[in-house]
Each structure stands twice: as C-alpha cells, then as structure tokens.
Structure 1
Amino acid sequence: MKLQNFFQLAFTFLFAALVLVSCKDDEDDTTKAPVAAFTFSPSSPRVGETVTFSNTSTDAETFVWSATDAAFSSTEANPTFAFTTEGDVQVTLTASGDGGSNAVTQTITVLGEDAPIPPVVTYPSNYTEGTDAATSRASVIVASDANGVGENDITWTNDKVWVLDGFVFVNDGQTLTIEAGTVIKGKSGQGENASALVVARGGKVIAEGTATEGIVFTAEADDLNGNLGADENGLWGGLIILGKSGLNSTPGESAIEGIPTTESRGLYGGSDDSDNSGVYRYISVRHGGTLIGAGNEINGVTFGGVGSGTIVEHIEVYANQDDGFEWFGGTVNSKYLIATACGDDAFDYDEGYRGNVQFGLIYQREDAGDRGGEHDGGTDPEDGTPYALPQFYNITSIGNPSSRTITFRDNAGGEYHNSVFANYSKGVDIEFLASGESSYKRFQAGDLKLMNNTFVEVAGNDAAVMFTVATVEGKEPTDAELAEAEAEVLASFEANGNAVGSLGITRSNVVPTEAGGETSTPSNSFFTTTDYRGAFAVGSTPWYTGWTATEAFVQ
C-alpha cells in the first residue's frame, strides 16, 4: 500500500513539473512584433553633409537600411551617410526580430551646397519629437502645459504629425498657425486624461487648408487609410473654440462643457460680438467625443461665445460620439459645414446663439444619431436675452429610422430656409409652455420660421405629424390653447412654401436632380442667393469632394 502511494506521489510531482515547463515554454513563445522607427540629423542636410541616423525601433535585433539613393544601404543600427545629390530621398528602415519584421519610410530633403541654411527649430519644453506609429511619420507630441502651445506664436507644419497629449490650449494673446495638409492627432483618454485643442478667449488659430490639402484632426490610432470605421468614436476629444461674444445666461460667462470647471481658460462669453478667434478652413475633425463625465462628452467642434470676426468655412465633423457642432451663444457665421455619423445631434445651439449658417450637410448613420437639430434658447434663465435667433439656409439633412428632424425648445427661435430634410421618422416639434416665454411664442412673434423647405420621407410624409407642438409635464397649456397652437403650426407648413417631395435625393445621392421650387432670398449680405433647395446645386459635384471622410461614406 505504501509503495503504491509512493508511485502516485511521484507521478503527481512529475505531472506538475511538466505543466510548469509547458507554461514556461508558452511564456517564452510570447514575442512582440517589432516597430521600426528612427530620427535623423540634420533635418535638412546639404549635399555632402553627414547625416546621422538614430534608430529608435523596439523589439528588433537586426536592421536593414535602404534608400531611393541606391548608394545608401546599411545593416548597422545607427549608420551615417552623406548624400551626393540634392532633392527628396526616401529612406526606409526595416527592423526584424523574433516577432517578425516592420518597415518605416521617411523623406529627407537634401539641399544644394549653396542653399541657405534652414533655421534651427527649437520647440517649447512641452514638445517631444518622435514617430507616429499609425502612419510611420515624424511626429511631435504636444503636452498640456500652462504656456499653452508655447510661450510665443508657433506654426505647426505639414511635414510632421502633431499629437495632442491632454488639453492643449492656445492661450490669450497666442496665435497658432496650422499649415494646409497638416495632421493633428489626439491621444486617447477620458475625464482629466482627455485630449483636445482648446482655443481660449483671446487666442487665435490660423488654419487655412484647401480642397486638395485639408487639415485633419483625428485619433492617434488613425492610419489615414480607412482603418477606423464610422462607428469608431470617442477615441479623443475634439476642437473647442472660445470667444468673447455675448450669451443670454447669467452671469454672462460660462465654463464650456467638456473641460474641467477648475480650468479658467475654459471660460467663454463677454460683450464683444465681433470678437475674432481666427480662421478655420477645410478642416476635418474625426473619431472624437471622448467621455469626460457621466453622460458628458466633447462635441466634434464646440463654439463657446465665438464672435462674428471669426472665419469658419468647409468644416467636417465625422464619427463623433456626441454632437457634431454645438454653439453656446455667440455670433459666429459659418459656411459649408458637415456633420456625418455623429452619435447624438448634428447641429445644436443654446445660450442665445444668433449667427448664420449656409450650406450644411447632416448625414446620420442608419443605426445611430438623435436629432438633426437640437435648438435651445437659454439655460439659466431660459428666457434670457438676447434670444437665440440664428438663420440656416441651404441645409441637406439625412436622418435615420429612429431620429427626429429638429426640436425647438427653451424659448429657442431660429430660421430654416431653402433646405431639404430626408429619412427622419419624426418631424419638427416646437415647445409650448402654459406661461412665460417659449419656442411657440417665438413662432408667434415671427422669430421661428421654416420656409421653402422640402421634406422627403419624413414622418410618413404626413404634414400633420411633421410639424407638431410639444409640451412639458406640469407646464402644459389648456387643451384649447394646445389645439389652437397645433392648428397654427400645421397651417404654416404649406403657407410658408414647405412641401413633401423627392428631388431625387437618397442616402446614396445627396445631390438633387431638380431644384425643388420657390426659394427664399436672404436679406443678410453674409448669405449667397441660390435658386435651389438643399446644400448642393442640381447635378453639381459635392463641395465635400477631395478633403473629407464623408465622401467615402455617402454611398
């Protein structure tokens, strides 16, 4: 019996030893894939000048260097070389290890012997040079800092990827210039660890992209070749612009949502309605909207008290977790706005926004998105002045089977002219309170208008449920008052030139095949007079072509 127990015990120890060896072998088999990366100096060498390559690859043991200049090749970890011909040279480093191989390519511009010496770039202390893993391009990480983007004005150039690490501010008195074709990325993180570019009151950004060289704000994981889908959002923060224009809330300045209230640079509002926060043209903001608190996410682009001196044209928000654009008070005007695949509302305003918007595309996912427009007049108090009275002309708004076209509430006014709304299950609702000011009162006063718009497959194409009056529990008008209001709002549908139609617009084709009928002529010189409804002229090439993620998504 004892001998049998001995053999059983020996077998148990032997089995345990084999398991431990097996587990150890499994651990040893876990290897990391190498990541190739390098820097070089000087950044713009002359012909014949020695270039020193610094290898920053990880998890690699062997290295192969090659270039379009065939004279350069090496297997050293950190080689040096002097190029003999001026011009652009593509240098590739292939790093190999037990986990495989990885390659990265960078462009070196070799200057002629007599070329002027380029200035030495000295970055602020919160800037760190490196390599962007997703694109294998040279990068500069910009960390959150009391000095904002630096102690002085600075330019972010298009030869590098600029990575936001935390809330990076353009401080009062600073100007950040962003070259056309530049890529800015935000690191992932939530709450206090979120990343965003914030233009504080008194700061300016001059970001003038073009239709062929747009400026892209996106997540750090984006390889810019479609690896992130329209449902991948909340991967970083967004673009927040704050100004000194007036609000209708008390005490006249507020802390912007999305930034901790302890940060004084997050305040907006004032008394300068012509305030200038810079120039923003041909910018795409993608995959943002990270969570900063319970139910509180950052919008794609946030305007807080931004003044009419600011230029905003050709801006796209794509795949944002929260709203596309939100205006908190202010008077900023905008043309050519796009809100595509946003998780909440597309166009949202509050606190007495009274600017103008023309040529806008709202394009919701079929399975996500709330309202095309969520429009609030005031917050505290709701009937504060100045009233929210913005004007929207030539909007094309494509919804989904569970979303609402527009909500007007909290005493919001506003106007929509020459626009097209399609594929919403619910129409437009206007809030009516038993006493005091409300959006219905703005409608009665002529401050809320919907004129010369076309509705395509909205609310079952039934005007009776397309234009409705909404109430608030505990503040309802009498049944007679509500019936009268509903009749008045419904009558305005046809009386103001609105119609049910098609215009040839579908989810896969947002460009109309017909103009749609009578159009409103704007009185404000900001607007361009058009003879068509919607954001695009009949048979035209969409103005989002060449610089947006929307172009590939609309199909």
Structure 2
Amino acid sequence: MSMNPTVTLFLLALLLSGAGVMAQDRIVITDNDLVGGETYNWTSNNDYVLDGLVFLEAGATLNIEAGTVIRGLGGPDVTTGDNTSALIISQGAQIFARGTAEQPIIFTASDDDVTDPFDYDIIDRGEWGGLIILGSATIARPGGSDGIEGIDAAESRARFGGTNDADNSGVLNYVSIRHGGAQLSTDNEINGLTLGGVGSGTEIDYIEVFANLDDGIEWFGGTVQVNHAAVSFCGDDGFDYDFGWRGGGQYWFALQGPGDPTGRSGEHDGASPDEQQPFSRPTIYNATYIGIGAEQTASGGDAGRSLPLSVLFRDNAGGYYYNSVFVDFNGAAVAIEDRTDSETDSYARLQSGDLGFFNNYFFSFGAGDTPADLFLAIDQNEAIVPASSANVAATFVANGNIIADPVLNSLDARNADGGNVDPRVYAFGPAAIDAPVAIAGYDTTEFYGAFAPGAYADSNNSWLTGWTALDHYMVTGDFTNGVGQVADAGFLLDAPVPNPATQIATIGFALPRPAQVTLTVMDLYGRPVLRTANRYDAGDQTQRIDVSQLPNGNYLIVLDAAGSRLLQKMVVAH
C-alpha cells in the first residue's frame, strides 16, 4: 500500500482495548433456531456463531445485549449448504441491538479474536456475509416489492418493500460489522449492512462497517435515517443507495485504502426502471469522505477506472450533501449522469432542484483543483458531457462549495510535540467554524465534516473512539520527532536509520526479555503498508525494512511487544 504525501496528514486515533469475549460459551445458530412470533435474547456471556443464512422471521424479536459478539462462518465451514453466513431480519421482525461505546455489539468472522488488533487486518474481507434488515417502507420497484440483493430470488423471507414508510425494524446502536461481504457467486456479494425498504421508525445510530468485500452500507428504498456511520476499507462503495431511498443521515465517515480494489465513497442510484417512483432524495449533513490518495491507484473496482470519482449520481438519483468534507481522491469529486437515452436522469434532478451540494469543502483531487476539473456531467458510458459539465460546475460554485484545504488534525508542524491524531477538523482551521444552519431534523453545528473539531492532543475524542474496528486496529499514542529513543516497560525503540530513508531503513530496538515483536510501517492515515512479526531474544536487535517502493512522505514505525507499543516517525525521500 501507499499514501499521498501532499495532503494534510492525519491518522485515526485507535485504542488497543477492544471489546473482547473471554471464555464465553459458543452457541451455533442455524436457520432452524429462529422462528416467527418468538422473542430471543442474545447475551454477552455467550459467543454466537451464524451457520448459514439465518432468518429472523416475521413476528419475531431479537434482543442483543451490549458487548455481545456474533460471528459468521465462512463458506468452507458452513454446514447448512449455504455459500456463507448472514443474519437476515425479515419483514415484520425486529432486532434490538443496543451496544454502547464501552461495550459495542460486534459482528465479525468466526475466528477473529476481537481482543487482538493483529490477527485480522484491513485486507481481510469476505470472511462471512453481513447483516440484512428488510422492512415494509416504499421502494421504487414495479409492484412495490422485490427480493433483496445477494439472496436467492425464490426465498420469500427475503422480500422487502410495501406502503408503510414509518415501519419499525428495531434499533442498531453502537454496532460494528467487520470482515464481511462474502461472494455468493460471480459479482454477487453481500453488503456489510443492507437496508431494504427499512422505514423511518427504525433507529440506526453509531454503526460501522469495516473491511467488507462489497459495499459498506447499501439502502434499497425506504425512509430510515442513519447517523454516526463509519465505513472503511471496503472492496466496493462506501455508501450506496438505490430504489428510491428518501431518508437521510448526519455524521458519515468513509475511508479508502490505496492499492487494493475499492469503489467510490458514495454511489447513488435511483429507481429501477428509471421512471419508477419514488425517486431517491436523501439529505446528508456532515460527511467526511477520504479517498485513496490524489496520486494513488487502485488495483480494481471503480477507483481503478479511467474516471475515478468520490461520489457518483446516476439513473434518476437525487439527494443533498451539506457541510461536508471530501479529500484525497485520485480522480474527480462528483459526477452526475446526463444520459443520452433518458430525460429522467440525475442531471435532470439537478436542474429541478432535487439534487444539490451546498457549502462543502473539496481538497486534493487527482483530476485538478478547479470547478471544471472536479464537478462533472457524464453520459451512461461515463464519458464527460462538456456542456452539461459546465453547468454542473457553475451550480456547485453558486451553492457555496469551497475548493480549499479544510485542515484536518495532523502530524504537521503545529503538532511537533506529538499526541493523538485523528480526522477531526483542526480547532483553529477554516472548517471548524461558520458552517451554515441545518434544516429541521438535523443538528446545527459550527463545523464541517463528520467530527467535532479539536486541537491536536486535547481530550475531545471523535465519536469513533472506543467501539469501532478503526479504533481497535489502528494506533493511538505519543509520537516522537523521529530522533532519539522511546521506551516503555523496558522495551526501547530507536529512530530509524537513515531518516529520511531512500532504500533500506534499519530499525533498532531492545527487549528486556524474549518476546514476539511486530513491527508495522503505517502511513499517516493509519493504513499498514509493511509489517514483520518475529520472536527475538532479550537485548539489542535490528530489523532492516525495504522502503524503496513506498512513495515519498511521512510514515510511522510501530513496535508492539508484550503489551507495549512504541512509535517513531520515518520520512521516505527518494
């Protein structure tokens, strides 16, 4: 993996504490174990393992206690004949998963040790399926109903859609969904969280999808509101909506990793067919979308196409983004489909006022830094339409969008003494103040983006802290200046030599006793780019690392041994 060194540098602040499961009973759940009309209580003293596609049928209620871990078996381990495992909440059933920041509810792979930040990684995707919730709200499909993506069309319990836009499928609070998206067949994977026809009576707040093979969260119609949503390191899109979703959300965070296959942070589709009502038109406030790097490439997915994008609107999708931050993508910012074969397309929605971006920050895009570079109209073949693109760019400028650095917290000269780093806007930066007032139903904030602003090492943690996989897998700590030595519990880590490095860097460290040592090189978004793990004897040790293939920029050296974590800065300069 690699990073873009030119943008404002920052790293997600992550804790090692993680919500773990200790000596729980392992309870295997198959589809036969959940039936309609019953109430089930899953508690944190047990470890629940999904074996195959498990449906919670109509009339049933599933209560999940804070701190509970639910695991999904992968294809080879499934005993039921299904290709993978997933939990599907059918129409008329309800799930009440009420975690907390201290005790999140975690859905993950069957053998993921949720107390160990190094057994799984950001590239471990498709290990199981995901969580699917199906409701009875309106969707834009002929007849008003459909079968959900990824499940056999003949399965009646996988139907969704209806006429009750206030439908209530339950509650998701502080739920983290990790390492899912198993492939059922070619180009047919399960999203981390799928919401089919879910109504506005459903509460979803503090939800995470981490390292999913397909999309992070996808809506198929419905009216549900989703707040405090984090999607990272997915193999396809971050936030995807289809079939006339008319809900909304506030405080969304999307993070992509360079090098790996990935999609767009936002892929927004309309009805099917194009003329089918209702059209998608959600309202999204305070999003922060971070791409793979303005100068980086992806090995597959939409980010690897000839025209990579941060956000795409197509078919007849509308929708609104307000007070948001879009940074560090390898292509253009936003494209709006202007089809040659339809008058009912997203470009028409822009002209009618059903699609708009208002008062957002855009910074560091591979396509350039002018409105004409960033805001486009494209046809159904993703070819740029020049005349329509000029109108799109003019509309974005008129709506108060800003092409400038929003200044996110970082390891730059302002913060030379070190401390926690994170994606909040800097407390004294331009995006920390003067955000316009929100419409009714949304919080009015002074700041742009998904997180309240803060100075570099203050105690105002982001809402990611404590419960997310991002928090569990990455790094928090005090960072040195990359010279001298840091120590903890008798473990010592020297600054890399040479520093800056061009080809080979030598890492020196000392151990008070024999120990398993993991050395990780991370870019300053917290993305591992190199890693070694070996057992060493007590005393002085060295490890040589090849940095010749890393782009120029700033990196972190992270040493983990016997519960101690030490960090040094390293500069790569070819």
Q: TM-score, normalised by structure 2?
A: 0.70
CA distance in 1, matches of 2:350, 2:435: 20
8 A Cα contact 2:362 2:402, kept in partner: yes
Deviation at 1:518, TM superposition (A): 4.4
Deviation at 1:354, TM superposition (A): 0.6
2:369 corresponds to which of 461, 470, 473: 461
1:317-347 residue CA offsets vs partner (Å, 9 max, x unmatched): 0010000000000000011000011110000
Match of residue 153 from structure 1 = 39
Match of residue 416 from structure 1 = 321
Match of residue 122 from structure 1 = none
1:249 corresponds to which of 141, 144, 152: 141
8 A Cα contact 2:100 2:173, kept in partner: yes
Deviation at 1:432, TM superposition (A): 0.4
Match of residue 461 from structure 2 = 541
Deviation at 1:282, TM superposition (A): 0.2
CA distance in 2, matches of 1:472, 1:336: 33
Change (3 A) 1:483 1:367: closer
**Is 2:75 the partner of 1:169?**
no
CA distance in 2, matches of 1:150, 1:438: 41
**Is 2:392 the partner of 1:484?**
no
1:178-233 residue CA offsets vs partner (Å, 9 max, x unmatched): 00000000011178331001100000011100010100000001011121111001
Amino acid at match of 1:196: A
Match of residue 263 from structure 1 = 155
Match of residue 325 from structure 1 = 217
8 A Cα contact 1:305 1:328, kept in partner: yes
Match of residue 500 from structure 1 = 403
Cα RMSD for the two superposed structures: 2.0
Q: How does 1:135-214 map to 2 (within 5 A)?
A: 137-145=24-32, 148=34, 152-189=38-75, 192-214=82-104
The number of residues matched between the two structures is 415
8 A Cα contact 1:383 1:410, kept in partner: no
Deviation at 1:137, TM superposition (A): 3.0
Q: Secondary structure at the match of 1:489?
A: helix
Match of residue 11 from structure 2 = none
Q: Secondary structure at the match of 2:144?
A: coil
Q: Secondary structure at the match of 2:390?
A: helix
8 A Cα contact 1:452 1:518, kept in partner: no
8 A Cα contact 1:497 1:518, kept in partner: no
Change (3 A) 1:345 1:251: same
Q: Secondary structure at the match of 1:528?
A: coil
**Is 2:293 the partner of 1:378?**
no
8 A Cα contact 1:451 1:520, kept in partner: no
Deviation at 1:293, TM superposition (A): 1.4
1:440 corresponds to which of 338, 347, 352: 347
Amino acid at match of 1:521: V
- The percent of aligned pairs where both chains have the same amino acid is 42
Deviation at 1:382, TM superposition (A): 1.3
Change (3 A) 1:172 1:150: closer
Change (3 A) 1:149 1:515: farther
Amino acid at match of 2:202: T
Q: How does 1:26-37 map to 2 (within 5 A)?
A: none
8 A Cα contact 1:135 1:223, kept in partner: no
**Is 2:203 the partner of 1:311?**
yes
8 A Cα contact 1:515 1:538, kept in partner: no
Change (3 A) 1:170 1:161: same
Amino acid at match of 1:347: F
1:139-169 residue CA offsets vs partner (Å, 9 max, x unmatched): 1000122x62576201000001000001111
1:514-547 residue CA offsets vs partner (Å, 9 max, x unmatched): 252643333232x111111100111041101000
Q: Secondary structure at the match of 1:493?
A: helix
CA distance in 1, matches of 2:24, 2:430: 46
Amino acid at match of 1:160: N
Match of residue 494 from structure 2 = none
**Structure 2 stretches of 5 or more lacking a match?**
1-19, 298-302, 304-308, 411-420, 455-459, 475-524, 527-574
CA distance in 1, matches of 2:151, 2:233: 23
Change (3 A) 1:538 1:200: same
8 A Cα contact 1:515 1:531, kept in partner: no
1:273-309 residue CA offsets vs partner (Å, 9 max, x unmatched): 0000001100000000001111110000000000000
CA distance in 2, matches of 1:291, 1:135: 30
**Structure 1 stretches of 5 or more lacking a match?**
1-131
CA distance in 1, matches of 2:23, 2:257: 31
Q: Secondary structure at the match of 2:128?
A: coil
Q: TM-score, normalised by structure 1?
A: 0.72
1:93-127 residue CA offsets vs partner (Å, 9 max, x unmatched): xxxxxxxxxxxxxxxxxxxxxxxxxxxxxxxxxxx
8 A Cα contact 2:37 2:58, kept in partner: no
Match of residue 405 from structure 1 = 310
8 A Cα contact 1:327 1:353, kept in partner: yes
Match of residue 250 from structure 2 = 358
8 A Cα contact 1:284 1:318, kept in partner: yes
Deviation at 1:504, TM superposition (A): 2.1
Change (3 A) 1:135 1:290: farther
Q: Secondary structure at the match of 1:492?
A: helix
Match of residue 187 from structure 2 = 295
Amino acid at match of 1:169: F
Deviation at 1:136, TM superposition (A): 5.0
Change (3 A) 1:495 1:186: same
Query: Which of the two has higher C-alpha Rg?
Result: 1
Higher-RCO chain (CA-CA 8 Å, sequence separation at least 6): 2
**Is 2:168 the partner of 1:276?**
yes
Q: Secondary structure at the match of 2:82?
A: helix
Amino acid at match of 1:449: G
Amino acid at match of 2:324: S
Amino acid at match of 2:465: T
Match of residue 125 from structure 2 = 233
CA distance in 1, matches of 2:102, 2:386: 53
CA distance in 2, matches of 1:506, 1:238: 33
8 A Cα contact 2:56 2:88, kept in partner: yes
Change (3 A) 1:149 1:288: farther
**Is 2:435 the partner of 1:519?**
yes
